[in-house]
């Protein structure tokens, strides 16, 4: 600073110093992105590509992507619902997920189906909102055993051995996409009654043991092709392909209710068991898995409000019903 109080023209302002530091950090991150042997991608909360390294193009076998739609264009149709649902879970709910997908051949005449793994990690702002995600993409040049182990972790809930939330919703989305006029999917939402009291009274170990028993009973009550998924906590979702009528879906839900209505013998206690169950059958206008799941959850809340442990089928009138007890 000069003697008369004026700033030295050669001195940097605080803003210039911060800006330079940010540029240096950005350059460092981009150089790291080019150095690592995996594909690196950053997207914002709306799914727009902020950054992608060259290795990503090599793995995907496509030109530089600018949107998630571009990125997923090389994913085989059979795996795209799972990939899309996984990205939704990360960008909407802030979850961290890994998912294996198969890719289209990169060149015409090439019949090889390639595989890769997407490692998605949510970016959270200071206000707690999801600002985007960073994705590392590895190719399939790993041992079969390693891929199988990772697939199991990405698909199934380790405690109950049910499908996890992401893979369950993805399976329902695939069922909706492949359904016809006579064979539509159904979603059955199961919420265990009084589970909070069990955790508080007997401890979390007893709660985990109880959930394991419930999962086994659910798998024993459904059809061979039905999928039992754990949505989180004490909530499960059964997705049923090829359901001809709403009444058929309700019959499956009744079997579930009956299987969960018997006491459970745990290591240290005998516990009563009951569940509130909601059923939603696709009427043909449903094309979105989240919408059908929401309908089944609405019906479940009505089942909980009635407090009888019996399934309730979703109808539009339930949207005006009062909420059930917690």
Q: What kind of fold does domain 165-320 have according to CATH?
A: Alpha-Beta Plaits (3.30.70)
Q: For residues 82-106, give the mean pLDDT.
A: 84
pLDDT tier at 162, thresholds 50, 70, 90: very high
Cβ atoms 295, 239 nearer than 8 A: no
Lowest mean pLDDT among 19-23, 39-43, 228-232, 317-321: 19-23
Question: Looking at the domain that runs over 35-154, which CATH code has it been given?
Answer: 3.30.450.20
How many C-beta atoms surround the C-beta of residue 221 within 10 A? Answer: 19
Strand order across the beta sheet in which 275-281 lies: 227-232, 235-243, 184-192, 275-281, 312-313
How many Å apart are CA 286 and CA 239, to the nearest integer?
Answer: 14
Say which residues have a Cβ less than 8 Å from residue 230's Cβ, sequence separation at least 6: 157, 159, 160, 162, 163, 164, 165, 168, 211, 215, 236, 237
Cβ atoms 189, 299 nearer than 8 A: yes
- Cβ burial of 34 (10 Å; 0-12, 13-18, 19+) is exposed
Lowest mean pLDDT among 169-183, 214-228, 231-245: 169-183
Cβ atoms 189, 293 nearer than 8 A: yes
pLDDT of residue 8: 56
User: In degrees rounded to 5, what are phi and psi of residue 13?
Assistant: -80, 165
pLDDT of residue 320: 78
Cβ atoms 250, 186 nearer than 8 A: no
Lowest mean pLDDT among 72-76, 101-105, 304-308: 101-105
Q: For residues 242-262, give the mean pLDDT.
A: 94
Strand order across the beta sheet in which 130-139 lies: 49-52, 39-44, 130-139, 114-124, 97-103
Q: For residues 290-318, give the mean pLDDT.
A: 94
Regarding predicted confidence, which is higher, 287 or 144?
Answer: 287
Q: For residues 227-232, give the mean pLDDT.
A: 94
pLDDT of residue 279: 98
Regarding predicted confidence, which is higher, 141 or 184?
Answer: 184
How many Å apart are CA 221 and CA 216, to the nearest integer?
Answer: 9
Cβ atoms 114, 103 nearer than 8 A: yes
Q: For residues 272-279, give the mean pLDDT.
A: 94
Q: For residues 178-190, give the mean pLDDT.
A: 86
Spans of all domains in the chain: 35-154, 165-320
- Show the CA angle centred on residue 138, arms to residues 115 and 53, nearest 5°: 120
Record the tokens describing residue 162, joined without a space. Answer: 């049910």
pLDDT of residue 27: 61
How many Å apart are CA 104 and CA 62, to the nearest integer?
Answer: 10
pLDDT of residue 144: 44
pLDDT, averaged across the chain:
82
Q: Over 70: is that where the pLDDT of 152 sits? A: no
Q: For residues 301-317, give the mean pLDDT.
A: 93
pLDDT of residue 31: 61
Percentage with pLDDT > 90 across the chain:
33
pLDDT of residue 305: 94
Cβ atoms 155, 167 nearer than 8 A: yes
pLDDT of residue 143: 41
Q: Over 90: is that where the pLDDT of 275 sits? A: yes
Cβ atoms 71, 41 nearer than 8 A: yes
**What's the farthest any 2 CA atoms get from each other in the chain?**
89
pLDDT of residue 109: 56
Q: For residues 310-324, give the mean pLDDT.
A: 83
Q: For residues 259-272, give the mean pLDDT.
A: 86
Cβ atoms 239, 218 nearer than 8 A: no
pLDDT of residue 18: 57
pLDDT tier at 324, thresholds 50, 70, 90: low
Record the tokens describing residue 273, joined without a space. Answer: 């068991």
Regarding predicted confidence, which is higher, 110 or 266?
Answer: 266
pLDDT of residue 249: 96
Lowest mean pLDDT among 58-62, 266-270, 288-292: 58-62
Give per-residue pLDDT as tens, 97-144: 888 888 876 655 556 677 888 888 989 888 888 999 988 888 765 444
């Amino acid at each position: 600073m000069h003697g008369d109080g004026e700033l030295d023209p050669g001195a940097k302002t605080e803003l210039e110093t911060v800006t330079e530091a940010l540029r240096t950090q950005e350059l460092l991150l981009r150089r790291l992105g080019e150095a690592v042997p995996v594909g690196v991608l950053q997207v914002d909360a709306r799914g727009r590509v902020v950054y992608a390294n060259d290795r990503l193009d090599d793995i995907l076998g496509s030109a530089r992507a600018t949107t998630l739609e571009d990125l997923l264009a090389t994913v085989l149709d059979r795996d795209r619902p799972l990939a899309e649902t996984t990205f939704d879970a990360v960008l909407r709910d802030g979850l961290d997920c890994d998912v294996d997908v198969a890719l289209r051949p990169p060149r015409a005449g090439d019949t090889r189906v390639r595989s890769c793994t997407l490692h998605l990690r949510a970016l959270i702002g200071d206000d707690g909102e999801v600002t985007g995600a960073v994705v590392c993409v590895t190719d399939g040049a790993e041992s079969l055993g390693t891929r199988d182990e990772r697939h199991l972790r990405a698909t199934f809930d380790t405690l109950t051995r049910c499908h996890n939330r992401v893979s369950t919703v993805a399976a329902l989305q695939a069922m909706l996409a492949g359904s016809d006029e006579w064979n539509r999917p159904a979603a059955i939402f199961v919420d265990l009654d009084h589970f909070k009291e069990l955790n508080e009274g007997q401890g979390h170990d007893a709660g985990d043991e109880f959930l394991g028993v419930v999962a086994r009973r659910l798998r024993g009550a459904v059809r061979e092709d039905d999928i039992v998924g754990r949505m989180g906590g004490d909530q499960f979702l059964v997705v049923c392909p090829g359901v001809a009528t709403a009444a058929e879906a309700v019959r499956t839900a009744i079997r579930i209710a009956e299987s969960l209505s018997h006491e459970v013998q745990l290591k240290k206690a005998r516990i009563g068991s009951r569940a509130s169950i909601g059923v939603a059958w696709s009427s043909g206008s449903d094309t979105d898995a989240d919408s059908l799941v929401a309908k089944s959850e609405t019906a479940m809340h009505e089942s909980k409000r009635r407090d009888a442990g019996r399934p309730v089928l979703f109808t539009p009138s339930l949207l005006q019903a009062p909420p059930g007890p917690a």
